[in-house]
Structure 1
Amino acid sequence: MSEDPGSGEAGAARVIAGRYRLLGPLGEGGMGTVWRARDDTLGREVAVKEVRAPAGLPTSEVERMYARLEREAWAAARVSHRNVVTVYDVATQDGRPWVAMELVRGLSLSDLLDAEGPLPPRRAAHIGAEVVSALRAAHEAGVLHRDVKPGNVLIANDGRIVLTDFGIATVEGSSALTMTGEVVGSPEFLAPERALGRTPGPESDLWSLGVLLYTAVEGRSPFRQDTPLSTLRAVVDEAFPAPRRAGALAPVIEGLLRKDPAERLPADAAERELRLVGAGGTPRADPASASPAPAPAPARTSWQRTPPAPVPVSPPPEPGTTYSPAADTTRTERPRRSLAVLLAGVVVLLLALGALTYALLNRDDGSAGSKGGGHAAGSASGGASASPSRSSGSGSPSGGGGKAGAGGGHSATPRQSVRVGVAAVRGSYSGTCPPPGSAAPAFRATFTVGRVPVDVEYRWVTASGESSDPGWKTLSFASGGSRTKSADHAETGYTDGATLHNEVHVEVRGPVRVTSNSVSYAVTCATASPTSTTSPSPSPSPSS
């Protein structure tokens, strides 16, 4: 986390509770600032958390906020574990509580994901195993974290994984300090039972861990939508998109992200499977698929589904005996079961035909269900979008399609897509070199996205290598704004005394990967450029 020099200078002269000398800010959070400080009594550096109540907040709300902070310190202090941040002291200054805790030098998981992108499954599994170990210790102490997310997982410089910020934790037996109906925590990491206002349990923290693991390997949250309300609806009603990069971690994520808390993967099993994946092993896809041993089967955990019992088969009657229907019920049971399956299949087929007929009769221009020119998401088979290609100039993330029409007529949010095409504004240049930016070959890239808001990361690339304006750039599409924007670019590269033939295109790496068409251009130098010890710097490209 970067330090704010202004805040650091203002806080450097402050001493809290007569011993904690503030040195500089470590980061800002929803409840205030975390400072790097020196404990003058023990001569060591610590982290001190400060709470600043928003201006105009009623006194009752301020007191409630301070009580929550004190509860954070109390909850964290009850948990003694190497993967949980250590709380040293709770001091009072200016009528407010300040929490002194262990200073962990390193990065948060969210910072790591921003810097490096999605993690390999083995590394994500190692981090997840340490986090679930911390959660098990907290749950055994009667503490629920309630805000497990990448921003609250620290990766120390020595490799230690630390779960921090118990600021909204609850302790079994304590009275609730939140108002009725208030949502506490990050919506996209909230468990379905909490989104529905039900009493949370340890399983709720495990759901948040599943979302964290999905985000770590896929680089995006499985339930994030445009608004907190639509995000909560997706958490409750929608299935998460099938992970593409999870590898051996996929069964663990699936076990943690089960809507019913009773069927969720327990903490001990989650830690065991995560350590197995972290060591390079492969967990079984579903414990219910394992063959039972001849010895008595172990007790079934709540998250395992019971396999159907085998159907007994009666031996054929002995020669010369009289067949009795009452003596052989299994022979009639199979035809009945087959008939039931056949009837169910016929009903499903009729419903599908009816839905298809309705859709054909009610479509108007062939784009029903789409919005603003985007593609309708989801189908009966969860169809994946087309893969990006250089010739098409468009792309969208692969994965399972959303559900449409389920749960009372809710429409699925369309998946993001990006289309980009390049056209020449000036295709050639002839004259003295280097060519000036106002006369050099110029191009315009037109970007169209499936939905807004979104930031598109792109760069210009030539066939011979880097363009005259190298590096990745960002084109922002604001919420409620146009889904189409353009960016201009000029190529000022040349070859002395010759004609340079080249071509240029655009590469997009986020939110999806896609490559545009290529456009050829030529630069002819009429006279050689004057000799110089330094190469002429390229002209900046015009802004969009």
Structure 2
Amino acid sequence: MGTVWRAHDDVLGREVAVKEVRAPAGLPTADRNRMYQRLEREAWAAARISHRNVITLYDVATDDERPWIVMELVRGVSLADQLDAEGPMPPQRAAHIGAEVLAALRAAHGAGVLHRDVKPGNVLLSNDGRVVLTDFGIAMVEGTQALTMTGEVIGSPEFLAPERALGRTPGPESDLWSLGVLLYAAVEGHSPFRQDTPLSTLRAVVDEELPAPQRAGPLAPVIEGLLRKDPAERTAAERAEHDLRIIGAGGTLRADPVRATPLSSMPTVTSPPTPPIPLPTPVPGTTSTVPADTDGRRARRASLALTAGLVILLLALGGLTYALLSRDGGGGGGDGGSSSSGGSGGSATAGDSPGASASTSYGGSSSSSHGGGSGSGSGGHTTTPAQSVRVNVSAVRGSYSGACPPSAAAAPAFAATITVGRTPAEVEYRWVTKSGEPSDPGWKTLDFGSGDAKSRTVNTTETRYEDGGTLHNEIAVEVRSPVAVKSDYVAYAVTCEVVTPSTGATTGSPTP
């Protein structure tokens, strides 16, 4: 909505983007005012969100009774332009872009903002690798009144969620649907429900089944989960982002493990049939009465026999497990029945390019409980699975060159994926640099609830610099609990250049 111009900020000496909305000639005053209110709403919505994947708003100016939005200038192309120029993209690349857009949407939803117009044309791919969600012109802000007329449907029909096409109240799930359509279009080259007219497109969105994606590969389950007609059945945002980041890193999704009861893995034990017990011979002259619950007693005896068999089997398995553990421990010596083990996973070479990454994984300790202090195995045996933590740090932006201090939107940025071996878990971590303190020091806590995804992603931006020179440094993530682990370092650089403010505003052709 509107035209975006490249301009120069005379006060701060930087290039910016300025968005203009010019009402068509002859448009009724009420409609023109509504257009301007939407532009101001866009500024209001974007200003509520502070996230590296959301366009940064600087100011709103009014000239000739028309509002103008001043925002950061993102050098790059839109996802729509990219698809038009190069066609469908590989699933891994689409998953990376989708994860970044979803991170922006989650930040917006957390601030009470629904975007309502997620599509390739509103996703910018900057030259430094950043993915930016823009154009909040039709966003809905929690606690405010709508700027639409009764019965009016706004947004791009082929990216519209079914509940919005039916005039129902949208929610965050509506933006997730639009993201699913965006991912489908990115890998297939076209949106799944596009028809000849907007009306037939909306009908297809509501009534037709999702055409099976042919080029999505590992991305197909994520797309299908986001494009379920019922909003309540769509994949949750946190789970979808987790899956997208795995695919974007070149991994594959695993099926959820089946939760088993403690005895589900035990073999079935069948007791031999119990021979019938002869009834007593009646004494002459007396009446013998057979108890009426003979069948019940037989069932109880069979149950007791089955229980005894299970107990014997469990004892045998406990003894076998103890013997194996004793053998692995070097002859059965123990320190009261506890053991610990640790190991290092693979590591990647760190670099200062946007794709640089480093990872390290360590196993924690496993505790065992035995039926005796000497570990003789005379009683039962239970083992708690070892906890493990894996940390992967990657550079979203590995370098900066320009006026200092760098803005958070342009400074080197990093993402760390922390993966635990089992949940629930509580991980204490911090960002560390080889030289000096990071921009975001101090220990932090990351909670993994029972049943939650085992991977979480945290982000940081490094804005420290050296006047008139280049700061070379390296950053990593250190974990101190539940196990001690530290990722390999990833290098980055911040170069401060002297910028001479110029006078006069420079405008050029509208950016795409």
TM-score normalised by L of structure 2: 0.52
What are structure 1's unaligned runs of at least 5 residues?
A: 1-30, 296-311, 328-544
Q: 1:169 is matched with which residue: 139, 146, 150?
A: 139
- The reply on whether 1:284 has 2:254 as its aligned counterpart is yes
Judging changes above 3 Å, is the alpha-carbon distance between structure 1 residues 318 and 95 closer, same or farther for their aligned structure 2 residues? Answer: farther
Instruction: State the match for 2:152 in structure 1.
Output: 182
Give the CA deviation at 1:159. Answer: 0.4
Give the CA deviation at 1:323. Answer: 7.0
Alignment of 1:90-489 (within 5 A): 90-284=60-254, 287=256, 290-294=257-261, 320=276
- Distance across 1 between alignment mates of 2:166 and 2:236: 21
Amino acid at match of 2:189: G
Query: Residue 251 of structure 1 contacts residue 284 of structure 1 at CA under 8 Å; is this kept in 2?
Result: no
Write out the 4+ residue segments of structure 1 that deviate beyond 2 Å after TM superposition.
Answer: 312-324
- Distance across 2 between alignment mates of 1:209 and 1:318: 64
Query: Residue 317 of structure 1 contacts residue 323 of structure 1 at CA under 8 Å; is this kept in 2?
Result: no
Look up the SS of the partner of 2:6 in the other structure.
strand
Give the CA deviation at 1:55. Answer: 1.8
Residue deviations 1:350-387, cap 9 Å, x none? xxxxxxxxxxxxxxxxxxxxxxxxxxxxxxxxxxxxxx
Judging changes above 3 Å, is the alpha-carbon distance between structure 1 residues 323 and 144 closer, same or farther for their aligned structure 2 residues? Answer: same
Amino acid at match of 1:246: A
Query: Residue 88 of structure 1 contacts residue 101 of structure 1 at CA under 8 Å; is this kept in 2?
Result: yes
Higher RCO structure, 1 or 2 (CA under 8 Å, sep 6+): 2
Judging changes above 3 Å, is the alpha-carbon distance between structure 1 residues 240 and 313 closer, same or farther for their aligned structure 2 residues? Answer: farther
Look up the SS of the partner of 1:37 in the other structure.
strand
Look up the SS of the partner of 1:283 in the other structure.
coil
Amino acid at match of 1:253: I
The number of residue pairs the alignment matches comes to 277
- Distance across 2 between alignment mates of 1:214 and 1:201: 21
Instruction: State the match for 2:41 in structure 1.
Output: 71
Query: Residue 206 of structure 1 contacts residue 267 of structure 1 at CA under 8 Å; is this kept in 2?
Result: yes
- Distance across 2 between alignment mates of 1:78 and 1:122: 31
Give the CA deviation at 1:319. Answer: 5.8
> Aligned Cα RMSD in Å?
2.3
Judging changes above 3 Å, is the alpha-carbon distance between structure 1 residues 57 and 269 closer, same or farther for their aligned structure 2 residues? Answer: same
Residue deviations 1:448-467, cap 9 Å, x none? xxxxxxxxxxxxxxxxxxxx
Instruction: State the match for 1:358 in structure 2.
Output: none
- Distance across 2 between alignment mates of 1:126 and 1:313: 50
Judging changes above 3 Å, is the alpha-carbon distance between structure 1 residues 317 and 48 closer, same or farther for their aligned structure 2 residues? Answer: farther
Look up the SS of the partner of 2:17 in the other structure.
strand
Residue deviations 1:213-238, cap 9 Å, x none? 00000001100001111101111111
Q: Percent of aligned pairs with the same residue?
A: 79
Look up the SS of the partner of 1:220 in the other structure.
coil
Look up the SS of the partner of 1:34 in the other structure.
strand
Give the CA deviation at 1:181. Answer: 1.0
Give the CA deviation at 1:42. Answer: 1.3
Amino acid at match of 1:124: A
Judging changes above 3 Å, is the alpha-carbon distance between structure 1 residues 199 and 45 closer, same or farther for their aligned structure 2 residues? Answer: same
- Distance across 1 between alignment mates of 2:269 and 2:174: 44
Amino acid at match of 2:200: S
- Distance across 1 between alignment mates of 2:74 and 2:89: 22
TM-score normalised by L of structure 1: 0.49
Give the CA deviation at 1:282. Answer: 1.2
Give the CA deviation at 1:32. Answer: 1.9
- Distance across 1 between alignment mates of 2:150 and 2:269: 58
Give the CA deviation at 1:160. Answer: 0.3
What are structure 2's unaligned runs of at least 5 residues?
A: 263-267, 277-292, 300-512
Residue deviations 1:366-413, cap 9 Å, x none? xxxxxxxxxxxxxxxxxxxxxxxxxxxxxxxxxxxxxxxxxxxxxxxx
